[in-house]
Amino acid sequence: MKLEIYADVLCPWCYIGKRRLTAALAQHVGRDRVEIIWRSYELAPEEGRIPGPTAAEAMAGWWGEQAPARIARIRSLGAADGLELNLHLARPVNTFDAHRLVKLAADRGQADQMMELLLHGYHTEGLNVADAQVLQRLGGEAGLDGDEVRAVLAGDDYAEQVRADRRRAAKHGVTGVPSLMIDGRPPVSGVQPVVDLHRLLEHGPTGSDPAADTAEGTAWTS
């Protein structure tokens, strides 16, 4: 089985979805035969490298009076899956280099660990995941060679792969994250309950369930 996951570091739903997918895969009888491919999906490519307002502040601007309740819900759902989503610390930045680092990690068999560290660093620790020094440190924690990480960040390696994922997402109708594609089938939401994700892994999508139609996971804010 080939499982393609479209995600962005800025998206709290992607962190929740990753944790739930990990639980679903642990129950899957064919988990050793699942090929996981992390696909880049930049939610805010216009963001710069210098952090500005927090995610919570941005959400308050979008949602107004509904913001406190919606933020509380995101944090509660994350906590239920063992995650600490500190939206008052996370500050959206450009994630292009973070995605390039995941591509390097994929070539070294460490993509899942790299994504975990990026998501935790951003959502829990409030790290600037556009900062080269932060990315170098996280790359080292993921087991990547320091010289390779520095070379990638100093150049444009894997840039075309990130852009290719953007085109691939448009081609396959991916309009929000996290989105899953199983064996090339149409994308479905990647932030479903564990039991539903496990059912997808066992039997595949049973109907039209595009990620963009879900109430959760269609943006880094939901």
DSSP label at 34?
P
Does residue 214 register a pLDDT over 50?
A: no
Question: Rounded distance, CA 191 to CA 8, Å?
Answer: 13
**H-type helices in 81-157, by residue range?**
96-107, 111-123, 132-141, 146-154
Question: Rounded distance, CA 187 to CA 142, Å?
Answer: 28
pLDDT tens, residue by residue, 5-26? 999 999 999 999 999 999 999 9
Question: Rounded distance, CA 188 to CA 208, Å?
Answer: 8
Question: Rounded distance, CA 25 to CA 28, Å?
Answer: 5
pLDDT tens, residue by residue, 97-122? 999 999 999 999 999 999 999 999 99
Q: Which residues partner with 181 through β-bridges? A: 4
Q: Give the pLDDT of residue 218.
A: 43
CA atoms within 13 A on the CB side of 190: 33
Does residue 128 register a pLDDT over 50?
A: yes
Mean pLDDT, residues 181-185 taken together: 95
